[in-house]
């Protein structure tokens, strides 16, 4: 699989007008504008979806699975992200979503919040261990994990080795369904209903474990219309009632920033949302400026998963709806609702089975001496540039342009400032030549 295929954020070249809006927002400087169109440097993209949000032309897209892909399996289980519950007006209760999904063709529905309950308990146990690194960093948001791989590799050992609620829920859903109906695991497909592209990437290319238990990611936007129709016709009860086992209100609370920290009952936890803010705090952690912090929950989207780039509803409204919906759910603490035995029952499927590797950013040269020469050349060019970081050259900053020039992806005259300087020098020379010829 090429690095391009591993990403879920792609460019529709035909729609891009080269406006540079995405270039300025990309947190890892993964975008360039060349020949009037955006391009994404795959090695640097973390699938955060910021570019999807800012592109007025809808040229940045999230590649997820179509609803029809569930038909690859005899039995299909929907795994709704808790965020889904905040998308609809006048929702009677969470069960109406499950009924709607089953009428759309799913054989069963399994709340990802149940996976969050188990993940919360597993994290609490990790925090109790004397060998636990501080702060422990949440592994829930794949875009943040990828950011750590790309920009903060020194913090990899701080990432808690507990799989995401989506993965734990898929394992539990498949097991329970097979036991109940006496079917083979390979006949069952588990599909996450996703608010973001980074989850789709995490299914294709899991971080910290070999293989995903999830078979596909269907975007909330993709199913929104169909599910709304089902909800209008909703009647409680009947043969198509989903077999629900309750999750806790705290499990559903993982949909918003701070929900995970609340669920794990850790007072010295810090929850931060928005990829730039997360980046700033990771920098602080890297520089040992937060010595008392025990747990860091970083979510790439503002507000948390409810603010994902491929949801329908405004983040604040969705958040408020979820708050109202969970009033009927069990209010007990995770330590009362989930036992250590419940975590153990799932065995190794709760934890990582492979180390997280740093992602090497683009090397200047394989040869060390050559790389040093190129660094000197970058510095030389950077000094000539105006330091405005205006983006009009097609690179996000003057430093990035200097690097792009040395790598052979850009030229000095892509900088409008240098171009203007060169044009005025040429004009001066022309005047001098014409004066000389007149004499
Ligand atoms: S925001 Fe980026 S992808 Fe969208 S039109 Fe502008 S340059 Fe192209
Ligand atoms: S998804 Fe995020 S990291 Fe990737 S190109 Fe878009 S803004 Fe940059």
Tens digits of residue pLDDT in 370-416: 989 999 999 999 999 999 999 999 999 999 999 999 999 999 999 99
Residue 31 CB–ligand 2 contact under 6 Å: yes
Q: Are residues 162 and 274 in the same domain?
A: yes
Angle between helix axes 398-407 and 368-384 (nearest 10 degrees) is 130
Q: Rounded to whole angstroms, how far apart are CA atoms 184 and 50?
A: 40
Last residue of a domain, one of 318, 350, 382: 350
Q: Are residues 392 and 263 in the same domain?
A: no
Residue 378 CB–ligand 2 contact under 6 Å: no
Q: Are residues 48 and 106 in the same domain?
A: no
CB atoms within 10 A of CB 41: 17
Q: Are residues 201 and 253 in the same domain?
A: yes
Nearest bound ligand to CA 59? Answer: 1
Assigned token pair, 398: 């003057």
Q: Which residues line ligand 1 (CB under 6 A)?
A: 11, 16-22, 33, 38, 54-55, 57, 59-60
Assigned token pair, 210: 């070999």
For ligand 1, atom 8, the nearest C-alpha belongs to 16
pLDDT at res. 437: 79
pLDDT at res. 37: 94
Domain extent at residue 93:
67-350
Is 167 or 425 the better-scoring residue by pLDDT?
A: 167
Q: Are residues 25 and 3 in the same domain?
A: yes
In a domain, 123, yes or no: yes
CA of 386 to the centre of ligand 1 (A): 24
DSSP 8-state symbol, 162 = B
- Per-residue pLDDT band for 323 (boundaries 50, 70, 90) equals confident
pLDDT at res. 70: 97
pLDDT at 353 over 80: yes
In a domain, 357, yes or no: no
Q: Rounded to whole angstroms, how far apart are CA atoms 346 and 144?
A: 26
pLDDT, average across residues 348-375: 88
In a domain, 274, yes or no: yes
Residue 357 CB-half CA count within 13 A: 8
Residue 38 CB–ligand 2 contact under 6 Å: no
CA of 1 to the centre of ligand 2 (A): 20
pLDDT at 243 over 50: no
Q: Are residues 344 and 371 in the same domain?
A: no
Instruction: List, as one string, the DSSP characters of 34-60.
Output: ETTEEEE-TTT-----HHHHH-TT--E
CB atoms within 10 A of CB 143: 27
pLDDT at res. 237: 62
Mutate which of 3, 7, 9 for ligand 2? The one with the most ligand atoms within 8 Å of its CB, which is: 9
Mean pLDDT of the chain: 91
In a domain, 6, yes or no: yes
Report the percent of the chain where pLDDT is more than 70: 96
pLDDT at res. 327: 75
Q: Rounded to whole angstroms, how far apart are CA atoms 54 and 64?
A: 19
- Per-residue pLDDT band for 3 (boundaries 50, 70, 90) equals low
Q: What is the pTM of this model?
A: 0.90
Report the percent of the chain where pLDDT is more than 90: 78
pLDDT, average across residues 346-362: 89
pLDDT at 439 over 80: no
pLDDT tens digits, one per residue of 65-91: 999 999 999 999 999 999 999 999 877
Q: Residue 70 in contact with residue 189, Cβ under 8 Å?
A: yes
Q: Rounded to whole angstroms, how far apart are CA atoms 171 and 115?
A: 9
Mutate which of 11, 14, 19 for ligand 1? The one with the most ligand atoms within 8 Å of its CB, which is: 19
pLDDT at 164 over 70: yes
Q: Residue 256 in contact with residue 304, Cβ under 8 Å?
A: yes
In a domain, 356, yes or no: no
pLDDT, average across residues 359-371: 82
pLDDT at res. 241: 52
pLDDT at res. 238: 56
pLDDT at 1 over 60: no
pLDDT, average across residues 421-432: 88
Q: Are residues 290 and 306 in the same domain?
A: yes
By C-alpha distance, which of 221, 215, 297, 316 is closest to 254?
297
Assigned token pair, 79: 């795994």
Last residue of a domain, one of 324, 350, 376: 350
In a domain, 355, yes or no: no
pLDDT, average across residues 249-253: 91
Assigned token pair, 287: 């520089």
Q: Are residues 333 and 265 in the same domain?
A: yes
Q: Are residues 134 and 42 in the same domain?
A: no
pLDDT, average across residues 228-249: 71
Q: Rounded to whole angstroms, how far apart are CA atoms 352 and 389?
A: 40
For ligand 2, atom 2, the nearest C-alpha belongs to 48
Q: Are residues 51 and 184 in the same domain?
A: no
Q: Are residues 30 and 74 in the same domain?
A: no
In a domain, 392, yes or no: yes
Q: Rounded to whole angstroms, how far apart are CA atoms 329 and 336?
A: 14
Mutate which of 57, 61, 392 for ligand 1? The one with the most ligand atoms within 8 Å of its CB, which is: 57
pLDDT at res. 435: 83
Q: What is the CATH number of the domain that holds 21?
A: 3.30.70.20
CA of 51 to the centre of ligand 2 (A): 6
Domain count, the chain: 3
pLDDT tens digits, one per residue of 396-408: 999 999 999 999 9
CA of 126 to the centre of ligand 2 (A): 32
Q: Are residues 53 and 22 in the same domain?
A: yes
Ligand 2, atom nearest to 44 Cα: 3
Q: Rounded to whole angstroms, how far apart are CA atoms 244 and 247?
A: 9
Last residue of a domain, one of 289, 316, 350: 350
In a domain, 277, yes or no: yes
């Amino acid at each position: 699989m090429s690095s391009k295929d591993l990403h879920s954020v792609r460019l529709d070249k035909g729609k891009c007008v080269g406006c540079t809006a995405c270039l300025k927002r990309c947190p890892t400087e993964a975008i360039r504008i060349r020949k009037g169109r955006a391009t994404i440097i795959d090695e640097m993209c973390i699938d955060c979806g910021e570019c999807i949000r800012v592109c007025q032309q809808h040229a940045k897209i999230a590649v997820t699975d179509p609803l029809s892909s569930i038909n690859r399996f005899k039995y299909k289980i929907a795994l709704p992200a808790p965020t889904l519950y905040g998308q609809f007006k006048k929702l009677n209760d969470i069960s109406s979503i499950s009924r709607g999904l089953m009428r759309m063709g799913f054989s069963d529905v399994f709340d990802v919040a149940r996976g969050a309950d188990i993940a919360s308990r597993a994290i609490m146990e990790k925090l109790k261990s004397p060998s636990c690194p501080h702060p422990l960093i949440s592994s829930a948001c794949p875009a943040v994990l990828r950011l750590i791989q790309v920009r903060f590799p020194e913090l990899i050992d701080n990432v808690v080795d507990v799989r995401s609620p989506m993965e734990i829920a898929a394992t539990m859903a498949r097991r329970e369904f097979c036991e109940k109906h006496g079917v083979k695991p390979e006949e069952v497909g588990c599909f996450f209903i996703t608010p973001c592209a980074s989850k789709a990437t995490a299914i294709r290319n899991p971080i910290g474990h070999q293989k995903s238990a999830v078979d596909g990611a269907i975007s909330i936007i993709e199913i929104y219309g169909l599910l709304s129709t089902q909800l209008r016709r909703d009647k409680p009860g009947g043969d198509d009632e989903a077999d629900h086992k309750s999750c806790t209100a705290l499990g559903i609370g993982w949909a918003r920033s701070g929900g995970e920290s609340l669920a794990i009952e850790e007072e010295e936890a810090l929850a931060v949302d928005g990829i730039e803010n997360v980046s700033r705090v990771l920098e602080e952690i890297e520089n040992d400026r937060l010595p008392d912090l025990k747990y860091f929950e970083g979510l790439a989207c503002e507000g948390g998963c409810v603010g994902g780039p491929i949801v329908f509803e405004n983040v604040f409204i969705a958040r408020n709806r979820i708050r109202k919906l969970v009033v009927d759910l069990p209010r007990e603490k995770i330590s009362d609702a989930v036992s250590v035995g419940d975590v153990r029952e799932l065995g190794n499927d709760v934890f990582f089975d492979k180390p997280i590797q740093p992602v090497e950013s683009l090397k200047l040269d394989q040869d060390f001496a050559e790389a040093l020469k190129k660094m000197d050349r970058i510095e030389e060019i950077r000094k000539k540039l105006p330091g405005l970081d205006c983006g009009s050259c097609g690179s996000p900053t003057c430093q990035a342009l200097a690097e792009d020039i040395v790598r052979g992806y850009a030229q000095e005259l892509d900088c409008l400032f240098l171009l203007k300087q060169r044009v005025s020098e040429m004009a001066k020379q022309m005047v001098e030549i014409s004066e000389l010829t007149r004499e």
